[in-house]
Chain A
């Protein structure tokens, strides 16, 4: 590569507006621009703050660590189901828009065996129709006492809510309790793969790999999920193995799922292991390899 075709800002911090390359001074080259850079006429300028990186022969991009995620094809992410439509689940992947996960995008998925995710959020609409008896034929005489209950956590089951409502009923003779029960499959944590990602459309996900096998994708049971930045996820997924994961793996046994959208899920036998691993990972983003190992050793000493 000719010397003048390389930017002076490589491996340096850049902020939006910085001009990294001037194409008018360069001869016939093809430059590939990754995220964070844009072409503005004859110059290449920066859109996002971060470190400018260069890879031979001609790739430039800005590496930044943010809390929001930009969906890219073939990324593996951790999503949370927010809603269910006719054909898709709506999944939140911390991107600009919600993502669609087709109901059939599971191994052996067909119309007959649609996945049923554990019900975590129930919506119970109940209302009491006062004074219902055969003598009231027109609706004007009726008073509606409507109660709306939304069970927010998994602690209260839907059956208990119904029992509460039944107990309230006995104060109102000659009334009718109407219950409309919406079990919804929301709130489930999934490990998914991004299949389609355009800025103009909602991203599309899949719970199978390229060949159609399940391959570890799908809902994640138990464990603990925390949110961090995309830079931390990339560091954890780098090869050779990230020092903090290596140091933790030598002493503890746990399982971990890392989403490129900044979400990390940890599961282990004992909750104390989960807490230790989560804390170690959360604090390791700004440490060097050696510092990470020392930090993990100190954590272990304090626990033992």
Chain B
């Protein structure tokens, strides 16, 4: 089966089916269903703040250093903190081994995008003449790496105690087979259809990142963007719960598996399907000193 580049109601015979007649996608999700998300804080012990964030098969690790003394005096800003961000993909993150994990145009672009998004929410004026470094690395890439990186960076910044206006969350949405789809995976993303990524301050409901590939008519764009924003809110709800556990148990990295299903366009009905009990790293008696 061949895939059409525009995905905009093109000829039916040559278009691959991304949404079956029953309304199921290639991985069995409904069109408005997100992948399973999972977040964990404190993964990198040396960093001031760190987090691992998974959206389905996409897995990303973020580490934050700062606020600390600026290393390059020429870049020091007298009234606010310098925010630096570096995005890289591990060689083993994609199907075929990547030859150039960072420094290529896509990585530089995504680094810039993440930096601008986080800079909008960090209160940089409270830490003048200092530097905050955000390093995000993709461990497994299955579409939506940009969104997973922003979510992981938010968790890592909150773990580091850096003052922020709000939690920034991000989610992507697309439009294939005339259906808006939430949270595209790699196959759906590479189908050539539009891919709208939205980054949003959850409580204030302000959009800080909006990117789109390919083309969409205006009315459809409104629908798809709204869907992505609802996805952002679902991620923000999940992050609030993850933070709850982490603050109570600072040394134990507890994880919870959380499934957000059944997202309708105008309201989130969050179904807590496979919610496991918080798992501690054994009780203190099992610890080896």
Q: Which residues of A contact B (CB under 8 A)?
A: 13, 15-19, 36, 38, 45, 47-51, 64-68, 92, 95-98, 199-200, 229, 231, 279-280, 283, 285-287, 291, 294-295, 298-299, 302
Contacts and interface: CB of A to CB of B under 8 A. Distances in A.
B244 to A, nearest CB: 5
B130 A97 contact: yes
Contact of A49 (B66, B123, B247): B247
Contacts of A92: 69
A15 B244 CA distance: 8
Contacts of B240: 15
Contacts of B78: 200
B48 interface: yes
A291 B69 CA distance: 38
Given A68-B48, A97-B69, A299-B289, A200 B250 contact: no
A98 B70 CA distance: 10
A231 B165 contact: no
A200 B128 CA distance: 6
B284 A291 contact: yes
B229 to A, nearest CB: 16
B160 A13 contact: no
A200 B126 CA distance: 8
B257 interface: no
B248 interface: yes
A98 B239 CA distance: 33
30 contacts: A13-B248, A15-B158, A15-B240, A16-B165, A16-B166, A18-B203, A45-B166, A47-B164, A47-B165, A48-B162, A49-B161, A49-B243, A64-B247, A66-B48, A66-B160, A66-B161, A68-B48, A68-B67, A95-B67, A96-B67, A96-B68, A97-B130, A280-B289, A283-B251, A283-B289, A285-B251, A286-B249, A286-B251, A291-B284, A302-B289
Interface string B243-268: 11001111110000000000000000
A200 B129 CA distance: 8
Contact of B250 (A18, A47, A65, A295): A65
A15 B167 contact: yes
A286 B202 contact: no
A95 B252 CA distance: 25
Given A48-B161, A64-B161, A283-B251, A96 B167 contact: no
A197 to B, nearest CB: 13
Nearest to A67: B48
Nearest to A19: B203
Given A66-B48, A279-B289, 13 more contacts: A13-B243, A15-B240, A17-B165, A48-B162, A48-B164, A66-B161, A67-B161, A96-B68, A229-B250, A231-B250, A286-B252, A287-B284, A291-B284
Most buried by B among A13, A51, A283: A13
Contacts of A38: 123, 163
B166 A13 contact: no
Nearest to B158: A49
Contacts of A299: 289
B164 A50 contact: no
Interface string B57-85: 00000000011110000000010010000
B289 A199 contact: no
Contacts of B158: 15-16, 48-49
A230 B129 CA distance: 22
B201 interface: yes
A231 B247 CA distance: 11
A47 to B, nearest CB: 4
Contacts of A295: 284
Contacts of A291: 284
B213 to A, nearest CB: 29
Given A97-B130, A286-B251, A287-B284, A17 B66 contact: no
Most buried by A among B158, B162, B165, B284: B284
Contacts of B162: 48
B243 A15 contact: yes
B244 A68 contact: no
Contacts of B287: 283
B204 interface: yes
B128 A36 contact: no
Interface string B18-30: 0000000000000
Given A67-B160, A96-B68, A16 B167 contact: yes
A48 B244 contact: no
Interface string B201-235: 11110000000000000000000000000000000
B127 interface: yes
A93 B190 CA distance: 49
B129 A97 contact: yes
Nearest to B130: A96
B13 interface: no
Contact of A17 (B201, B249, B251): B201
B104 interface: no
B277 interface: no
A231 B161 CA distance: 12
Contacts of B250: 65, 229, 231, 285-286
Contacts of B48: 66-68
Contacts of B249: 286
Nearest to A291: B284
A298 B201 CA distance: 47
B96 interface: no
Contacts of B161: 48-50, 64, 66-68
